[in-house]
Amino acid sequence: MSTPDFFRSRLDGMIDLRHPLAVLATRMPWNNIEAALAPLLARKANDGRNVVGEDLFGPTLAVAGGGVSAAGRPRLPIRLMVGLLYLKHAYNQSDESVCERWAENVYWQFFCGEEYFQMRLPCDPTNLVRFRQILGEAGVEELLATTIAAAVQMKAIKPAEFERVIVDSTVQEKAIAYPTDSRLLEVARAKVVQLAKRAGIQLKQTFAREGKSLRFRAGGYAHAKQFKRLRTVLKRQRTVLGRVLREIERKMTALAEDQQQRLRPWLERAQRIAQQRTKDKNKLYALHAPEVECIAKGKARQPYEFGVKVSLAITANQGLIVGARSFPGNPYDGHTLHAQLEQTTILLQDLPGSPRPHTAIVDLGYRGVDGEVAPVKVIHRGRIKTMNRRQRRMLKRRQAVEPVIGHVKADHGMRRNWLKGEIGDAVHPILCAAGFNLRWLLRAIARLGIRAFFSS
């Protein structure tokens, strides 16, 4: 509790405490969140280094830099950073916009634990980037588990509902441009030329003007369906990129070792783009994001999506998300079910009674995996003739996961992932699921009425 400030009004006197976000701020287990995440943010001990000195009696040996360093700025409150992540994905904001709106919204500040109105930004937006990196996949899973625990503690959902879950997969698209062969070749040429100039390598020819012309011609030929001319342009683009790469490889031997190490990954990716063909497997679809995969989900409006496969698990009755996980490598849907149920079990293990899912309602893409997920019962319409009346009634709820996927994508940011690397692909769907659950809790508070929470 801070010292009373007689010159400023407290937030709890400025807002309506019956507002769903204000009610949720008092019901979230913030102490449990801080206890779980504090070890990740603790200052790490430094072993120190041996320093050789000399005094009147000869050479000496001392240890410098040992122990826990007190240098650096004190960290921001965990509740503030966690609250910003919750609000970012609950209201589909960017790192910059969530900080700007926080400075204007008294309810957001109250949710993040502030006692007095703050007129400045809570932090630099880059602090959220570093905070996500520190949390990792296990840390953001803790944030998702907290929303589930809050729903149980507020009696918005019964623990028995976690025994039946609906599981389905979707694609989380990466923030890349559509990967046409012509564009990839031109981007690779421009990037390696830029890196070579930055490293001090003088190139005989960069093909900047010709590369731009070839890119423009390729777009026109593709639009006019003149594929023979398009193949001629692509062949020339590969020739140009190969000449630039070979010249850089010849001249980079004169650079320092650290400069060569920085250049080599980009040259390898550009070489891979130059050698791949239209119908090759395991293609590189983005120079800056080599982890992107091409996934076909059978949609007529969008045959191919470029990103990573994501699995979601929701409760069968009320649609609370109890699991979200990414699966690199585009595995068969059925092979992801065991890992998804395992994550759901871990997220539910701290709830009263430790409920476990014993029934998974899925579509036909999950056939043939009953032995892998036993003793969980898998229900899909492929075995409808052997189902009893109760199981057929449960099967009718399978489509309930589709609008949840749509809302997570459209309203909570999973349609396009801007986070970097494979760790970004793993963290982002979990945070989007936590944002969905936060809005689910706000609707539950409005539905159940304010008296249900102040009387308990």
Final residue of a structural domain among 275, 307, 331: 275
Model confidence at 136, in pLDDT bands (50, 70, 90)? Answer: very high
Q: Is 69 a domain residue?
A: no
Q: Is 402 a domain residue?
A: yes
Considering the domain architecture, whether residues 227 and 318 belong to the same structural domain is answered as no
Q: Is 259 a domain residue?
A: yes
Q: Which amino acid is at 284?
A: L
- β-bridge pairing 359-361 and 164-174: parallel
Task: Render pLDDT for 334-354 as a digit per residue (tens, 0 to 9).
Answer: 999 999 999 999 999 999 888
Considering the domain architecture, whether residues 168 and 312 belong to the same structural domain is answered as yes
Considering the domain architecture, whether residues 234 and 299 belong to the same structural domain is answered as no
Q: Is 395 a domain residue?
A: yes
Considering the domain architecture, whether residues 161 and 298 belong to the same structural domain is answered as yes
According to the model, what pLDDT value does residue 151 have? 95
Task: Render pLDDT for 283-299 as a digit per residue (tens, 0 to 9).
Answer: 999 999 999 999 998 88
According to the model, what pLDDT value does residue 60 have? 65
Considering the domain architecture, whether residues 309 and 391 belong to the same structural domain is answered as yes
- What is the span of the domain harbouring residue 251? 181-275
Q: What is the percentage of the chain residues whose pLDDT exceeds 70?
A: 91
Contact 430, 324 (CB under 8 A): yes
Q: What is the percentage of the chain residues whose pLDDT exceeds 90?
A: 81
Give the mean model confidence (pLDDT) for residues 164-181.
95
Task: Render pLDDT for 202-234 as a digit per residue (tens, 0 to 9).
Answer: 999 999 999 999 999 999 999 999 999 999 999
Q: Report whether pLDDT(135) > 80.
A: yes
Q: Is 127 a domain residue?
A: no
Please give the angle made by the CA atoms of 231, 235 and 237, to the nearest 5 degrees.
115
Count of structural domains, the chain: 2
According to the model, what pLDDT value does residue 456 have? 54
Q: Is 68 a domain residue?
A: no
Final residue of a structural domain among 218, 248, 275: 275
Considering the domain architecture, whether residues 384 and 321 belong to the same structural domain is answered as yes
Model confidence at 269, in pLDDT bands (50, 70, 90)? Answer: very high
Considering the domain architecture, whether residues 334 and 381 belong to the same structural domain is answered as yes
> Using CA atoms in the order 418, 421, 422, 423, what is the torsion angle rounded to 10 degrees?
-80
Q: b/e string for 173-207 if b means 16 or more Cβ within 10 A? A: bbbbeebebbebbbbbbbbbbebbeebebeeeebb
Q: Report whether pLDDT(310) > 70.
A: yes
Cα–Cα distance for residue pair 144/437, rounded to 1 Å: 8
Considering the domain architecture, whether residues 311 and 165 belong to the same structural domain is answered as yes
- β-bridge pairing 164-174 and 305-315: antiparallel
Q: Report whether pLDDT(326) > 60.
A: yes
Q: How many CB atoms lie within 10 A of CB 9?
A: 10
Considering the domain architecture, whether residues 298 and 348 belong to the same structural domain is answered as yes
Q: b/e string for 284-297 if b means 16 or more Cβ within 10 A? A: bbbbebebbbbbee
Considering the domain architecture, whether residues 247 and 332 belong to the same structural domain is answered as no
According to the model, what pLDDT value does residue 110 have? 96
Task: Render pLDDT for 40-81 as a digit per residue (tens, 0 to 9).
Answer: 887 776 666 666 666 656 666 665 555 666 666 778 999 999
Q: Is 404 a domain residue?
A: yes
> Using CA atoms in the order 30, 36, 41, 47, what is the torsion angle rounded to 10 degrees?
150
Q: Is 59 a domain residue?
A: no
Mean of per-residue pLDDT scores for the chain? 91
Final residue of a structural domain among 241, 275, 309: 275
- Please list, in sequence order, all residues whose beta carbon lies within 8 angstroms of the beta carbon of residue 317, skipping any fewer than 6 positions away: 161, 164, 397
Considering the domain architecture, whether residues 169 and 308 belong to the same structural domain is answered as yes
pTM, to two decimals: 0.90
Q: Report whether pLDDT(194) > 90.
A: yes
Considering the domain architecture, whether residues 360 and 217 belong to the same structural domain is answered as no
Q: Report whether pLDDT(361) > 90.
A: yes
Give the CATH number for residue 311. Answer: 3.30.420
Model confidence at 282, in pLDDT bands (50, 70, 90)? Answer: confident
